[in-house]
């Protein structure tokens, strides 16, 4: 059984602020896990508890952002039902697998894939500014990306928002704002499904997770508002920055392991 640490009272306002900042950044371009997971580890949560607790608080942020995008008409939730179900299914499979396999091999592969995405986006400066014709039908898209990225999020996770966004932009032809809105719906699916699995396994620290989740609720709404009011030209550089930071962090971690 994991050991649940006793956090000092001053830690909770810090965790709330961390959730607020992470939720804002994540709702715009993903990468909020760069902020939240190190914070949880820094307060002494063992890795299994930190991962489960991170899923708890990020469920609030992705859900808040997804709802904000849906209310403004950026996302039609009815059109996301298939993707939601397949992504959740993949996430359960990933969360189940991570308890039996070492995800280290993904830790060495993923940062290079993220780096390739950043380079590709730099050399395609107009990509994602406007919507384009889709290259794959939604059923095939979600069967491929929903299951695969849901599994990845349940198994490992860092950078999944970047992979979703680039898939929506390049394959379904969304602009960056619409891609980000749909990404948040899929993030919510994989976060919630993984959270159920981690909760049943007893690896969620509820008090700090809920406090961070409150910050994520506010941050998700704020980030979605900024993305929708400022448009794709605002989202794109934030997306590139966060994808690059996630890639660099993972490369550094793999080289110093």
Using only C-alpha atoms, the chain has a radius of gyration, in whole angstroms, of 17
User: In whole angstroms, what is the distance from residue 1 CA to residue 30 CA?
Assistant: 32
> What is 196-246 written as a DSSP string?
HHHHHTT---HHHHHHHHHHHHHHHHHHHHHHHHH-HHHHHHHHHHHHHHH
CA–centroid distance for 55 within its chain = 9
Dist CA 223 CA 215 (whole Å)? 12
Q: For residue 79, how many other CB atoms are within 10 A of its CB? A: 11
Listed residue (212, 228, 244, 193) closest to 22, CA to CA: 212
| Tokens 């962090």 sit on residue | 249
218 and 61 Cβ atoms separated by less than 8 Å: no
| Euclidean distance between CA atoms 205 and 111, whole angstroms | 28
What DSSP state is assigned to residue 36?
A: H
**pTM recorded for the entire structure:** 0.86
pLDDT per residue of the chain (257 residues) written in tens, 0 to 9: 565 677 889 999 999 999 999 999 889 877 788 788 888 888 888 877 888 898 999 999 999 999 999 999 999 999 999 999 999 999 999 888 876 766 565 556 656 766 776 676 666 666 555 667 777 888 999 999 999 999 988 877 777 888 898 899 989 988 889 999 999 999 999 999 999 988 998 889 999 999 999 999 999 999 999 999 988 788 878 877 877 887 787 777 767 76
Contact 253, 110 (CB under 8 A): no
């Amino acid at each position: 059984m994991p050991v649940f640490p006793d956090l000092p009272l001053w830690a909770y306002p810090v965790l709330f602020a961390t959730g607020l900042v992470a939720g804002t950044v994540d709702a715009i371009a993903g990468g909020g896990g760069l902020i939240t997971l190190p914070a949880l580890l820094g307060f002494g949560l063992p890795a299994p508890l930190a991962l489960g607790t991170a899923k708890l608080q990020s469920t609030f942020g992705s859900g808040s952002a997804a709802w904000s995008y849906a209310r403004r008409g950026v996302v039609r939730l009815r059109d996301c039902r298939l993707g939601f179900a397949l992504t959740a299914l993949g996430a359960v499979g990933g969360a189940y697998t991570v308890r039996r396999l070492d995800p280290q091999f993904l830790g060495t592969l993923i940062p290079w894939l993220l780096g390739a995405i950043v380079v590709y986006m730099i050399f395609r400066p107009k990509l994602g500014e406007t919507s384009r014709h889709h290259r794959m039908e939604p059923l095939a898209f979600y069967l491929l990306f929903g299951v695969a990225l849901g599994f990845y999020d349940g198994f490992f996770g860092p950078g999944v928002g970047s992979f979703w966004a680039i898939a929506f932009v390049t394959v379904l032809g969304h602009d960056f704002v619409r891609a980000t809105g749909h990404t948040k719906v899929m993030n919510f699916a994989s976060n919630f499904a993984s959270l159920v699995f981690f909760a049943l396994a007893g690896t969620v620290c509820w008090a700090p997770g809920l406090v961070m989740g409150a910050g994520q609720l506010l941050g998700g709404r704020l980030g979605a508002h900024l993305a929708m009011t400022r448009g794709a030209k605002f989202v794109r550089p934030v997306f590139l920055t966060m994808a690059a930071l996630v890639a660099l962090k993972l490369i550094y971690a793999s080289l110093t392991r």
